[in-house]
Amino acid sequence: MAFSKRHYLGMAAGYSASDWLRHTFTMGRKKDYQALADYLSKRYEGEAVLCKNGRSALCLALKAYFKPGEAIIVNGFTCYAVYEAVKAAKLVPIWVDINKDDLNFDLTDLEKKISKDAKGIIVQNSLGNPVDMKKIEALAKKHDLTIIEDLAHSVGVRYLDGREAGTVGAAVAFSFGKEKAIDTVSGGAVVLRAPYKNEITAPTKLPKLSDHLRARFYPMLGAACRGMMVVRAGGVLMRLLVKIHWVEKSADNKLDLERKMSKFEARLALPKFKNLRKSGEPVLREFYLVQNRDEVLKKLRMARYFFDGFWYEKPVSPRRYYKRVHFPEVECPNAVFVSEHIINFPTYYQRGELTKARKIVEPYIIKDIVKEGKE
Ligand SMILES: *Cc1c(COP(=O)(O)O)cnc(C)c1O
């Protein structure tokens, strides 16, 4: 049976056959959990805490450095998970518009929106594109903002001045969720680098059995769906698995500060960190801004590329939670524009696998946006 990873998103396509076997059978021990924490503490020079997922890790960082009611600057093109972390820490988000070429803070808008209440800034390196950290640091210094680095998209990325992402901020948060830079299906971590004012407690409870099993079997279930002879049947099976909660949509993963990540995930995450140095492919997703996106997606589907699950369809995604955010669209026109025109592919696909997809996309690309550092 061919468990091809080709052409699919949202069906665990980033996992190879050996990956799902490893995922299903790896046993984790306490020492694996400790080994990952020790590695992160050393590499990012701080106190590492492993968490249930990225949003819990980010929330823990926010709780350590900020007081309820304080405001924090957030990239205006992001995942709902970030908003959830900000809310759970009882902070007020200040949404800043983005550049169309790197999907990171528009520095002019950033400077304009720094207010008296702003005490911190979450730096995200959208889809693996590094921010201009030097300028952000200068602004942070001037306005006394604490920098939190969210590396969900960008482990191993280097800033323009050569420093590695995760070596600048007061704290660094990681997500090990599906399709993230380090992907073990779920899990997260935070490294507290600077001394912090507020007391926080590391999670002590074991993961729920249901969460543990979902993380274990997702790569296998995804492979089974992708391996179905008829594409539609694979899609139907995946929807069924979501319905019966054998598979969870990433955005629905709950923030929980009490639960740890699974020990086997810690064991799988560690070599992924160690191997990053060699791989040298820090961009997480290759993105394009296109006209007539629905038509492009349809053509891609006809060529058997199922790339509908691109990041992000709303400035704060997914769509089903967008209303809760009360996102200031008028203040962030670029974020709105990008969310209406973007498509992107994960870079774990081989170059050759995407040649045809790129050909399909090419005629639709909006030309007046020059992407720096892209071919
Ligand atoms: C996915 C994501 C997170 C948190 O991820 P979890 O799903 O909670 O593991 C945090 N920040 C960004 C930018 C993300 O995309």
Domain boundaries, the chain: 26-192, 286-369
Q: Is 177 exposed, middle or buried (0-12, 13-18, 19+ CB in 10 A)?
A: buried
User: What are the backbone dihedrals phi and psi of residue 246, each rounded to the nearest 5 degrees, phi first?
Assistant: -80, -25
User: Alpha-carbon distance 61 to 58, whole Å?
Assistant: 5
Q: What is the mean pLDDT of each run of 10 residues along the chain (375 residues)?
A: 47 80 93 98 98 98 98 98 98 98 97 95 97 97 98 95 95 96 96 96 96 93 78 80 88 94 97 79 88 95 83 96 97 98 87 86 86 44
Expressed in angstroms, the distance from the first to the final Cα of the chain is 37
pLDDT for position 7: 53
Reading phi first (left if > 0) and then psi (alpha if -120 to 50, else beta), residue 194 is in beta
Q: Is 253 close to ligand 1, i.e. is its CB under 6 Å away?
A: yes
Nearest atom in ligand 1 to the alpha carbon of residue 53 is 9
Residue 358 sits at φ, ψ, to 5 deg, of: -60, -40
The answer to whether domain 26-192 has CATH 3.40.1180.10 is no
Reported pTM: 0.94
**Of 215, 289, 209, which Cα lies nearest the Cα of 250?**
215
82 in contact with ligand 1, CB cutoff 6 A: yes
Q: 318: cis peptide before it, omega within 30°? A: yes
The finding on whether 53 has its CB within 6 A of some atom of ligand 1 is yes
82 Cβ contact list (under 8 Å, min separation 6): 55, 58, 74, 75, 122, 124, 150, 316
| Residue that the structure tokens 């170059």 belong to | 351
Tell me how far apart the alpha carbons of residues 264 and 294 are, in angstroms, rounded to a whole number. Answer: 40
Q: Ligand 1 atom closest to Cα of 150?
A: 11
Q: State if residue 175 touches ligand 1 by the CB under 6 angstroms criterion.
A: yes
* Unique residue bearing structure tokens 């995922």: 23
Contact 60, 198 (CB under 8 A): no
Mutate which of 59, 104, 150 for ligand 1? The one with the most ligand atoms within 8 Å of its CB, which is 150
Cβ–ligand 1 contact at 152 (below 6 Å): yes
Q: Whose CA is nearest to atom 6 of ligand 1?
A: 54
| Ligand 1 binding pocket includes 106 (Cβ within 6 Å) | no
What SS3 class is residue 189?
Answer: strand
Q: What is the dihedral of CA 35, 40, 42, 46, to 10 degrees?
A: -120
For residue 149, count CB atoms less than 10 angstroms from its CB and return exposed for 0-12, middle for 13-18, buried for 19 or more. buried
SS3 261: coil
Give the chain's length.
375
Taking each helix axis from N to C end, the angle separating 263-279 and 17-25, rounded to the nearest 10 degrees, works out to: 150
Residue 371 CA to residue 359 CA, distance in Å, equals 18
Atom 9 of ligand 1, nearest CA residue: 54
Q: Which of 55, 58, 60, 257 to mutate to test the pocket of ligand 1 (most atoms within 8 A of CB)?
A: 55
- pLDDT score, position 5: 41
Q: Is ligand 1 within 6 A of the CB of residue 177? A: yes
Can you tell me the distance from the alpha carbon of 273 to that of 219, in angstroms, rounded to the nearest whole number? 19
